[in-house]
Structure 1
């Protein structure tokens, strides 16, 4: 297995340095780059070969949420995990709806952080245990897909929805179905439109709530 290449994004140099030192102690990971704000992170995401971006929420110049939105709008498919002190429900929901692959709090144990990074890089949705209850509310009133929505999906879209529910990335789905990542992105966009949902996380949570998936 190749090393997990990480971009660390935080506006506090001392904290950023500490995370980098922690990551570099693990032989399975390597620091590919650092960024001090969201704008630098967006630029780095477009130029570096990355497996995962670990990014703070509250930063000057451009915050993590806006950077996340811009990355996803730019077609960045790298796994992105928010790493922050904010445990506000609105922040968690906004990040996951914008396409984050995880939401971790900075008070976690160092060893747990390394484990969660590996899980996220492997395609899982990671979230601090004390925030898990918020996941159930992501598909809120008025955002749930119609009960007959499954029948509107093609067999390929249904297979991809099931893969999303298992936390698989576009790259993993493409490899499993023997299609290109670009084709996966098109199918994800179409199934979100049909389900009336805004993000792959919403789709995954909705799919899990449908017992047959």
Structure 2
């Protein structure tokens, strides 16, 4: 008999973590090594547990899901990093895939279907919830993403803050609330970002931020708003 697949579950909802762990531990082909309530905790656990599969929620307090996904891909090169989320938004799907997710599953999936999907996962096949497969059509456009290099642009502090929040999947309304500014001001910042970076959509802005190393830059390197 082959070795069971080991898993690390990361979600900020305790009931979901416990229920999912019980479900998967009851399946002969799985063993849950641990659960974590945040991406930060999960990254620490992953260094010692070295799971075969990480099930990662996208939207949690603390480190954003996209940044966490990149960190897991860098530290667990042999593991499958699969997003398990309530979000069926195309932007979240495309961003997750563009930064290296090996799968994207929805939390409303029936337990039996989730088990079967995980049992068939592999590095050779992208694991997508059936509902999300049609939305995957936009991924090709991101693979040919253009735009200026991170060192070629000068952004104000507020533009940098806006771009970071766009990269975490926030809407204009949520960005406005987080920064204490109006929706209209956020739209102006987005317009300026698109122009300065030679990009054409919010999705491209988010992909650029993740791919070009912008999110790894220190705040000290960003210009202060005038």
TM over 0.5: yes
| Contact 1:51 1:121 (8 Å CA) reproduced | no
Query: What is the correspondence of 1:75-154 to structure 2 with a 5 Å cutoff?
Result: 76-121=77-122, 123-140=124-141, 143=144
Deviation at 1:142, TM superposition (A): 7.4
**2:8 match:** 7
Structure 2, unmatched stretches of 5+, are 146-210, 212-226
**Aligned partners of 1:5 and 1:141: how far apart in 2?**
32
Deviation at 1:122, TM superposition (A): 6.7
**Aligned partners of 2:97 and 2:62: how far apart in 1?**
22
Deviation at 1:75, TM superposition (A): 5.3
**2:22 match:** 21
**Aligned partners of 1:132 and 1:101: how far apart in 2?**
13
Deviates more, 1:133-142 or 1:49-58: 133-142
| Contact 1:52 1:121 (8 Å CA) reproduced | no
Q: SS where residue 139 of structure 1 aligns?
A: helix
TM-score of the two chains, using structure 2 as the length reference: 0.60
**1:47 match:** 48
Structure 1, unmatched stretches of 5+, are 145-197, 199-213
CA RMSD, 1 decimal: 2.0
Aligned pairs, number? 146
Q: SS where residue 137 of structure 1 aligns?
A: helix
> Are residues 141 and 5 of structure 1, via their aligned partners in 2, closer, same or farther at CA, if it must alter by over 3 Å?
closer
